[in-house]
Amino acid sequence: MAEAIIAKNLVKRYGDFEAVRGVSFSVKKGEAFALLGPNGAGKTTTVRMLTTLTSITSGEAYVNGFDVKRERLAVRKSIGLVPDVSNLYDELTVRDNLRFMAKLYDAPLERVEELIREFELPADRKFGKLSTGFKRRVTIASALIHEPEVLFLDEPTNGLDVHSAKAVRALIRVLNKRGMTVFITTHNMVEAETIPQRIAIMREGKIVAEGKRGELAKLIGKKVIVKLSVEPLTSSLLRALEEYDVSFDEGRLLLEVENVDEFLERLYSLKTELGFRIEGLCTEVPSVEDVFVELTKGCPCGGCPL
Amino acid sequence: MKVLAIAEKELREYVLKPGSISWGIVFPLVFTLAFAVRFGDVDHLAPGLVSISVLFGTTSFVSSSIIFERRLRTFERLLVAPVSYSEIVLAKVLTGSIFGLFVGFVSLLFLRAFMVYPIWNLSLFVLFLVLSAFTFSALGLYVSLVVENPINAMTWLNLIRLPMMFTSGAIVSLLLFPKWFLVVGLVTPMTYSVDGLRFAMLHYYDVVNPIYAFLVLLLLSMVFLYLSILRVERLY
C-alpha cells in the first residue's frame, strides 16, 4: 500500500521557540491516522505544515506524492482541510459557500447539490445563522467539494455537543470506509478510540509513541485485565493462577495478563485438569486514554485537558 | 477566473451590506457639505475631495476585510485552496477598488451639485478614478498585512492618510506652499491621483503633468501589489 503522507524530521521554529521538533511518520493510503497530544504539543502546527498553511523550517513532507515545500498548489488540489474552527463566510448561504469552494477548486457545480443532499444541509440559510453542529457539517462538506484523496481534520469535534460530535465522528468513519485517507488531530479520547487505525502521541513538539492501540498499550507496560468467574473456586486453581497477580472484585477474579492467547490456552488446560466451570470471562484492554495520560504525564504545557 | 470568484465573494460578504453602502454614501456627502457650506462652489476642491473619498473608501474597506478574515481565519480558506497568492491579493485589491469607485462616483454626484463648470473629460476622469482606487486599495492592503492588530492598522492607516490630505494638494494647492514642500508633495502617492483627476475634471493641473500622473499611479499600484504578495508569502 502506497503512502499518502510522509513526514521526515519536520521542524517548525518561531523565532527561538521550536513548536515541532523533528517529527517523522507516515500514513498509508486509505488509512485513518490520529495525532494525539495535549494543547500546545505541536499537532496543529504539524497539520499546518502538511497542508501548506505554514512554511516548514526544516525536514521534508510529501502528501499524495507531492513535495509540500515545492509543489504547494498540487498538494492543495489533492487535500481537504477541516480546521479547528468552522471558517466559512457568514453572509453567504450554505449553497453559495459551497459554490464558491467549487469555483476555487474547479469542481463541477453539480457537486454542490450532491453534498447538500448527502449531508442534509439547509442550503438557503446563511452560514452565520447556523448552529455550531451544522456549521461543522458544512465545513466538512466544503472540504470534500473536490473529492480529495486526503482529508485533514484538526480537532473536528471541538466545541460540539455530544450528539453533533457523535454525528461528525460517524461521518468521518464513513469517509474513511469509502477509501479516503483521514488524518485527525485531537485531544478527545472518544475520537482517538473510535476513528483511527493508527495513533501517534505528541508531546512538546515530538512524537513520543506511535502504533496501533494494542501496540501503544504495550509501550506503557500496562497489561490486559481478565475478569473471570469460575465454579467452584478452589485453592488449587488459585495456586495455579498465582503467576497472574490475582485479585478479587465482586466475587470475580481479576488477573493481569500480558498475552491473552497464552493465558486462555493455560486456563482451558487447567479446566480439563481441575474440572471447574467458566461462568464468565471478559478482558479489559488499556485504553488510549491510559496510554495518553501515562505518556503526557507532567507535560509542562499547562493546558492539558486531563 | 478565480480572481473574479474571490472578488464576487468579497462583494457579497462585505460590500453589499447596509453598513458598507451607507458608509460609502455618508462619507462623501459629509465631506462635500463641509467644504461646500464653507466655500460655496467647490470646483477647485472637487478632484481632491473625490480622491480623499476614494482613499478612505478603499483603504478602510480593504483593511477591515483582510483583518477580519485573518482574525476569523476565513483567509486560510483561500490559502489552502489551489489559488496563488497573487490571485488572492489581486482579488482583494480589485474588490477594494470597486468599493472605491462606488465611493468616488457618489462623491462626484454630490460635488456636481456645487460645481460651476462641467467635467472636462469624463473618460479621463474614469481612468484616473480607476487608477487611484487600485493604487490606494493596494496601499491599504499592504499596510493591513504588515500590522497584526486591527486597532494598529487603523492607526497606521490614519498616520498615512491624514498627512496625505495636505501633502497631496487635495485641499490646499501645492503651489501655495514654499518650493521645498513640493518634494514632500511629489513623494505623496495621492498627489498623482489629485492632479490626474484635476486635469480630467477641470483641464488644468497644479504640479504633475497628467501623463506622469498616469505612469506614476500605474507604477505605484504595481509596487504595492507586489509588496502585498511578498507579505502574504512571508506571513504563511
pLDDT tens string B74-115: 999 999 999 999 999 999 999 999 999 999 999 999 999 888
Fold designation for A222-281: Alpha-Beta Plaits (3.30.70)
Nearest to B48 by CA among B135, B153, B128, B134: B128
Q: Could you report the predicted ipTM of this complex, rounded to two decimals?
A: 0.88
Nearest to B194 by CA among B164, B218, B157, B221: B164
Cα–Cα–Cα angle for A164, A167, A173, nearest 5°? 145
CB B201 within 8 A of CB B120: yes
pLDDT digits (tens, 9 = 90+) for A195-211: 888 999 998 999 988 88
Measured from the Cβ of residue A287, the count of other Cβ atoms closer than 10 Å reads: 16
- CA atoms of A24 and B170, how far apart (whole Å): 60
- DSSP code string of A223-284: PEEEEEEEES--HHHHHHTGGG--EEETTEEEEEES-HHHHHHHHHHHHHHH--EEEEEEEE
Cell for B189? 502617492
| Residue A220: alpha-carbon gap to chain centroid | 19
- CB of A102 less than 8 A from some CB of B: no
- CB of A76 less than 8 A from some CB of B: yes
According to DSSP, residue A222 is labeled P
Confidence (pLDDT) at A287: 73
Who wins on pLDDT, B29 or B235? B29
Q: Position of cell 475634471?
A: B201
Contact across the interface for A101 and B73, Cβ inside 8 Å: no
Nearest to B129 by CA among B35, B22, B49: B49
How deeply is B151 buried, as exposed, middle or buried, from its count of CB atoms within 10 A (0-12, 13-18, 19+)? exposed
- CA atoms of B210 and B208, how far apart (whole Å): 6
CA nearest to B236 within chain A = A54
Number of inter-chain CB pairs under 8 A, A vs B:
57
Residue A221 has pLDDT above 70, yes or no: no
CB B101 within 8 A of CB B153: no
Contact across the interface for A76 and B82, Cβ inside 8 Å: yes
**53-112 in chain B: CB under 8 A from chain A:** 72-74, 76-84
Residue in B13, B74, B80 nearest the CB of A81: B80
Measured from the Cβ of residue A275, the count of other Cβ atoms closer than 10 Å reads: 10
- DSSP code string of A49-72: HHTTSS--SEEEEEETTEETTT-H
Fold designation for A3-211: Rossmann fold (3.40.50)
CB A38 within 8 A of CB A303: yes
Query: What region does A85 belong to: left with phi over 0, alpha with psi -120 to 50, or beta?
Result: beta
CB B65 within 8 A of CB B20: no
Residue in B1, B5, B236 nearest the CB of A54: B236
On the question of a cis peptide bond just before residue B118, with omega within 30 degrees of 0, the verdict is: no
Mean pLDDT lowest among A102-111, A122-131, A169-178, A220-229: A220-229
CB A219 within 8 A of CB A291: yes
Q: Provide the shortest C-alpha distance from residue A191 to chain B (in Å).
A: 24
State the amino acid at position B180 in one-letter form: W
- CB of B17 less than 8 A from some CB of A: yes
How deeply is B227 buried, as exposed, middle or buried, from its count of CB atoms within 10 A (0-12, 13-18, 19+)? middle
Q: Position of cell 464468565?
A: A280
Residue in B9, B80, B84 nearest the CB of A100: B9
Question: What pTM did the predictor assign?
Answer: 0.83
- CA atoms of A82 and A101, how far apart (whole Å): 13
- CB of A55 less than 8 A from some CB of B: yes
Residue of B80, B83, B231, B234 for testing the chain A interface, max A β-carbons within 10 Å: B80
State whether residue A204 is helix, strand or coil.
Answer: coil
Nearest to A286 by CA among A223, A210, A237, A236: A223
Q: How confident is the model over A144-170, as a mean pLDDT? A: 90
Confidence (pLDDT) at A72: 93
Confidence (pLDDT) at A176: 94
- Chain A residues touching B9 at Cβ < 8 A: 89, 92, 100
Contacts of A89 (CB under 8 A, 6+ apart): A96, A97, A100, A127, B9, B13, B74
CA nearest to B15 within chain A = A91
Residue B1: which pLDDT band, with cuts at 50, 70 and 90?
confident
Mean pLDDT lowest among A253-257, B192-196, B221-225: A253-257
Contact across the interface for A100 and B5, Cβ inside 8 Å: yes
- CA atoms of A150 and A45, how far apart (whole Å): 18
Residue spans of the domains in chain A: they are 3-211, 222-281
- Chain A residues touching B234 at Cβ < 8 A: none
Contact across the interface for B82 and A89, Cβ inside 8 Å: no
CB A181 within 8 A of CB A31: yes
- Percentage with pLDDT > 90 across chain A: 51
- CA atoms of B193 and B170, how far apart (whole Å): 9
Mean pLDDT lowest among A33-47, A99-113, B119-133, B195-209: A33-47
- CB of A89 less than 8 A from some CB of B: yes
Residue in B5, B72, B82 nearest the CB of A77: B82
Residue of A103, A126, A140, A152 for testing the chain B interface, max B β-carbons within 10 Å: A103
Contact across the interface for B81 and A92, Cβ inside 8 Å: no
Q: Provide the shortest C-alpha distance from residue A268 to chain B (in Å).
A: 58
Residue A167 has pLDDT above 90, yes or no: no
Q: Which residues pair with A110 in a beta bridge?
A: none
